[in-house]
């Protein structure tokens, strides 16, 4: 099979791209994400038609946040769009006349990294995406593992603190409350309230109040040596690394790939994560250690991965 | 392939058995577990020779506690026997003249249940063994998943309480400190100290002191309605069920199988575990639920599973 | 000294009452709580003038939520009213021409119970108030203990879960997030989502959805035997009792008094709290146990206590 | 009253000293701690007779680990000596012919610091002793507060981690498991196992194995810049400071005094504790902050305090 299309549904933009067998994006198009559930379906179809007009494409892969069923056809539940048992595959196929597969967006990104990014050459890879929340995907034996019902790899919602922070999912103590972009900002704000003297750089990047601190400020301030920003990254890394150690006990992969916006900071965040991983890895002196790698495809991993999953059929 | 031999290395006994393609044990033999590492190898060989003398057997599968490498040949680390990088496959093959595969004992038990027990008919199964500690095995896509380096499925050592109880593995807050036979006894003793009036039956089964309480007493007392014993099972089930919910977020299997000595109590412990699992399952209203099944093979699962893994080659 | 006035500033009403030396309220008046900080001061003065017109009163005691300074004059910080370093004593004295003392409302309630309620006859008493949040007061050696700076007894904000639930105070894992009326409702809603079959009575008291569950429903449903409601009270009691055990390690009082709306349920909540207290009391077999008593004055404790503190000068 | 004797019962030595009204020790004597309960009583009497032979002394104060009753006469329970309801006051009075008061050793040390050490000039002081375990004492309104039954101030056994580390007291998650000399050593050993490269200095001070690490090594290595040793002190300080913040919510003292062997390191440990205290202090921006002071009397605080308590009668 030759060219396929990958679609990435974001909170503000829907991106569609024509991708070749090497994972290279030949053409892309972005449209705003409509506010209604049905509008999103139409926008996906429009974007697909736009990019496919000048290419011979054979299939479409769509990455969507939420639970996708085991047939890769129906979105069981989407956290941000009002989709409940939405037959997305059928609806888009009817509109664009191409075979469609639907995949969880973090699964698609994991597959993209495995095929064309940091995971190349590995058979068993676990990807985690530290974005606003925490997602992930599982590759075992060179296959994406989706679970019996399609909803495996929901790493962000394992419980790491009993009776811990409330999560949007309704549970408490979920990993993504402690290791994600949102967590990073919370760490920085709390510390800036308690010890403003140590957050002078950080506070100066916003309007001077802790509430104005955003993720980009924490990154910038950390690079400038702000103690509170550095400590916030360290706290994030403590939780991220400890969670990877748990995943190593369970999956024992050859490599972990850490992606998402937080990982854009590279070794600023990767090195503390590696240190924490070694600290908490059970039996570390008796077993080979998985590598902890930075993702390579950035924000394109989901689109490229979805396109490739469509190619695989 | 016809008959194979399964070997189960326990703390006090080594059992070897001839097993057929239906998972039926044709003959068994037990020998005491020797105190030295080399003695165990010899005892395994002796037991294999004993049961193979009157059968035409084609291979040997050995289930051993600890880390086994990805080639299923070397025990990287055994917690109870002084084995470090022990070339068990080679040593036993030299002694008995049959092909040997070595497998983690909980993996072997999981495979036994998947093939001949509660897991029949499922493609994706997670087994947990609530014995003295907590072990487990992963079947995905009808294959035992061992990880890149052979040490996947160490469920007992995921961290469920940060800064929690010390574990024999050197880490803290490991799941097996909260959901295992040893944990059950600890719950019962602590409660019997604090509220002896509610533990009259339980204390009466030992010598009257909390320290004399053993696992069998807790089971018996719970059946007789002892409040402390019932509460101890409930506490165990809270942790077991919450952990299964985490595993559902990660693996999304079709079924969980709960084995090990604690599960011998059947619904006394299975029902509270199911209740706790439903309580903590993330997104439970939007997704199909895995079944939570009692293991069917009891203490024979490891031997039968090891024999079958040897048959599969 | 004869009659004094107690003032209780609530979220919706300000109550003033004339109280005699026996703790009997002779006359009361209630006015709505104004929306502005200055308006509240005027409303207090109005209420005081109303009830004092037909009585010979000698002083005024005001109970206010928040931090009150060591001179019992200034509200350093009020969570619900926009008071920061508010010179409440001076302002009210100027308006009403009587000596005024300002006290934290939970301290006032504790004093009321100590003098005229459940604490009579004890020299060392710890009161906790399980209302929307969790407050308290400390009596040691027959004196209210306010701390060096006036802000002792903030029981609700000790950390009982590291990295736990966010609290309105900006910290995490505060006791009042786990033991309070608000916590009770959260427990009930979470359980009703996860196991609606066990919450049929409870859900029937609201509009059928978990979000409609309120505190009064949980109490009513528990009395009718609803499993989720009973379990929610038990969870609250687990945390309340464990916290009292900590306070016993610190203060070793002769009695604990449990007040606030949650305690109106009497033994429905008191008995599980006592059980949990015994469970967690350190060294319980070697030391006398504090009594755990239900408060006797209900919602009047704060007003009566504030009046009596004014009498003591 | 003029001279009195203070007695400090340690695990290996019993020290008795003649102390004047200024808290100056005039003469001391040390004897080995006998192995039997009755032997300890005799040894105390011997030591008292020795130091009193050349001084006119008027009373004896004894500091003992464990629970002491409200009459300061009976040791209800001692963790290290086999005393259960031991009438220590009577027994020693009969032997030495002087009035005796018995006090918990951490209470005695707190009183010593309050009267002659870091607490001078304060009315409300909380002392914590970071020794092998964690003890403390409460001074409110210039009086030592012992609780209704004599066992207040057991700071080491408040629960800071639900389901946390087992404690010698039988409970779990006690503060002293996270903030004490023993905890410091555990932190260092765990980190040295996980990341030996960062513990080169520390491991070099022992025999090269993590198990050989002792408290003195951690202090020395931290002064030499060993990353694991510094990180271990930081972890201790995180827990110590967070606990002090809780005590501030409860007691709101004017000052905290931190004593015990761990505090001998001065600002190496005090500064991180202060930082953690500020980080976790609830409402820190709205209230005056207690000072966090280093103890001044070192290991003599208990003896001097006991002598002074005897003087006060």
Give tens-digit pLDDT for A63-118. 999 999 999 999 999 888 889 999 999 999 999 999 999 999 999 999 999 999 99
CATH 3.30.420.40 range(s) for chain A read 3-111+300-312, 121-295
- Touching subunits of B (3+ CB pairs, under 8 Å) are A, C, D
Mutate to test the interface with C, among A77, A157, A161 (most CBs of C within 10 A): A161
Q: For position A82, what pLDDT does the model report?
A: 86
pLDDT score for B313:
81
Inter-chain touch C165–A178, beta carbons under 8 Å: no
- Residues spanned by CATH 3.30.420.40 within chain D? 3-111+300-312, 122-295
Q: Give the distance from CA C110 to its chain's centroid.
A: 8
Residue B1 has pLDDT above 80, yes or no: no
Whether A282 sits inside 8 A of B171 (CB atoms) is: yes
Q: Do B279 and C162 touch (CB under 8 A)?
A: no
Q: Which residue of D has its CA nearest to A280?
A: D194
Dihedral through CA A193, CA A198, CA A204, CA A208, nearest 10?
20
Structure pTM?
A: 0.95
* CB-based contacts of D140, cutoff 8 Å, min separation 6: C140, C145, D123, D124, D251, D253
pLDDT bracket for residue B293 (50, 70, 90):
very high
DSSP per residue over C193-208, as a string? HH-GGGGHHHHHHTTS
Chain A residues with at least one Cβ partner in D under 8 Å: 162-163, 191, 193-195, 275, 278-281, 284-285
Q: For B77-89, how does the pLDDT look when each residue is reduced to its tens digit (9 = 90+)?
A: 988 888 999 999 9
Closest CA–CA distance from residue A26 to any residue of chain B (Å): 34
Q: Which of A151-155, C108-112, C126-130, D167-171 has the lowest mean pLDDT?
A: D167-171
Closest Cα in chain C, distance from residue A163 (Å)? 6
What is the rounded CA–CA span in Å between residue C282 and residue B185?
A: 20
Average pLDDT along chain A: 95
Most distant CA pair in chain B: distance in Å? 61
Assigned superfamily of B122-295: ATPase, nucleotide binding domain (3.30.420.40)
Task: For residues C220 and C226, give the distance between their C-alpha atoms in angstroms, rounded to a whole number.
Answer: 9
Q: Structurally, what CATH architecture does the domain formed by A121-295 represent? A: 2-Layer Sandwich (3.30)
Query: Are C226 and C199 in contact, with CB atoms under 8 Å apart?
Result: yes
> Under DSSP, is residue D3 helix (H, G, I), strand (E, B) or coil?
strand
Q: Do D164 and B161 count as a contact with CB atoms less than 8 A apart?
A: yes
Round to whole Å and give the CA distance between D209 and D219. Answer: 17
Interval D202-211: pLDDT, tens: 999 999 999 9
- For residue C308, the model assigns a pLDDT of 98
C285–B195 CB contact, under 8 Å? no
Counting beta carbons within 10 angstroms of the beta carbon of residue D181, is it exposed (0 to 12), middle (13 to 18) or buried (19 or more)? buried
What pLDDT is recorded for position A1?
63
Given phi > 0 = left and psi -120 to 50 = alpha, else beta, which region is B170?
A: left
Containing H/E element for D226?
none
Return the bridge partners of B292, or none. B256
Of B161, B162, B165, the CB nearest to D166: B165
List of chain C residues whose C-beta atoms are within 8 Å of the C-beta of residue D153: 250, 252
Contact B281 C194 (CB under 8 A): yes
What average pLDDT does chain C have?
95
CA nearest neighbour of A168 among A177, A160, A179: A177
- What residues of C are in contact with residue D141 (Cβ under 8 Å)? 141, 143, 145
* Mean pLDDT across chain B: 95
Query: What is the model's pLDDT at position D142?
Result: 97
pLDDT in 10s for each residue of chain C, 313 residues: 689 999 999 888 999 999 999 999 999 999 999 999 999 999 999 999 999 999 999 999 999 999 999 999 999 998 888 899 999 999 999 999 999 999 999 999 999 999 999 999 999 999 999 999 999 999 999 999 999 999 999 999 999 999 999 999 989 999 999 999 999 999 999 999 999 999 999 999 999 999 999 999 999 999 999 999 999 999 999 999 999 999 999 999 999 999 998 888 888 899 999 999 999 999 998 999 999 999 999 999 999 999 999 998 8
Interface of D with B (CB under 8 A): 161-166, 170, 172, 178, 190, 193
Put simply, the answer to whether D160 touches C155 (Cβ < 8 Å) is no
Class of CATH domain C3-111+300-312: alpha beta
Chains touching chain A, criterion 3+ CB pairs below 8 Å: B, C, D
Residue of C nearest to B162 (CA): C162
Q: What ranges make up the beta strands (E) of B191-298?
A: 255-259, 291-294
Cβ contact (<8 Å) for A77 and B283? Answer: yes
Q: Which of A288-292, B185-189, D264-268 is least confident?
A: D264-268
| Cβ contact D164–B165 (<8 Å) | yes
Tens-place pLDDT, residues B69-128: 999 999 999 888 889 999 999 999 999 999 999 999 999 999 999 999 999 999 999 999
Q: What is the mean pLDDT of chain D?
A: 95
pLDDT score, position A264: 85
Residue B264 has a pLDDT of: 84
The answer to whether residues B257 and B128 touch, using CB atoms and an 8 Å cutoff, is yes
Q: Quick one: closest CA in D to C167, which residue?
A: D282
Under a CB-based contact definition with an 8 Å cutoff, are residues A282 and B151 in contact? no
Q: How far is the C-alpha of C311 from the C-alpha of A156, rounded, in Å?
A: 58
């Amino acid at each position: 099979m030759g060219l396929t299309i990958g679609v990435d549904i974001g909170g503000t933009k829907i991106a569609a791209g024509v991708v070749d067998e090497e994972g290279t994006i030949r053409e892309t198009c972005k449209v705003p994400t409509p506010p209604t559930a049905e509008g999103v379906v139409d926008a996906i179809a429009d974007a697909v038609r736009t990019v496919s007009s000048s290419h011979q494409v054979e299939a479409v892969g769509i990455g969507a946040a939420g639970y996708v069923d085991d047939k890769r056809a129906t979105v069981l539940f989407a956290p941000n769009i009002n989709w409940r048992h939405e037959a997305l595959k059928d609806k888009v196929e009817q509109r664009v006349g191409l075979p469609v597969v639907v995949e969880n967006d973090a699964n698609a990104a994991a597959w993209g990294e495995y095929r064309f990014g940091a995971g190349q050459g590995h058979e068993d890879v676990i990807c985690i995406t530290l974005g606003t929340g925490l997602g992930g995907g599982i590759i075992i034996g060179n296959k994406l593992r989706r679970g019996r019902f399609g909803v495996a790899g929901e790493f962000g919602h394992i419980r790491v603190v009993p009776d811990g922070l409330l999560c949007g999912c309704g549970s408490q103590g979920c990993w993504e409350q402690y290791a994600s972009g949102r967590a990073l900002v919370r760490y920085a704000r709390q510390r800036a309230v308690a010890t403003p003297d140590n957050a002078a750089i950080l506070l100066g990047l916003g309007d001077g109040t802790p509430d104005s601190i955003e993720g980009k400020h924490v990154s910038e301030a950390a690079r400038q040596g702000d103690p509170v920003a550095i400590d916030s990254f360290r706290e994030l890394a403590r939780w991220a690394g400890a969670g990877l150690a748990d995943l190593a006990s369970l999956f024992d992969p050859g490599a972990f790939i850490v992606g998402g916006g937080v990982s854009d900071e590279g070794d600023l965040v990767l090195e503390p994560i590696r240190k924490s991983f070694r600290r908490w890895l059970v039996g570390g002196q008796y077993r080979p250690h998985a590598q902890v790698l930075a993702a390579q495809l950035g924000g394109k991993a989901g689109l490229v991965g979805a396109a490739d999953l469509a190619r695989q059929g």
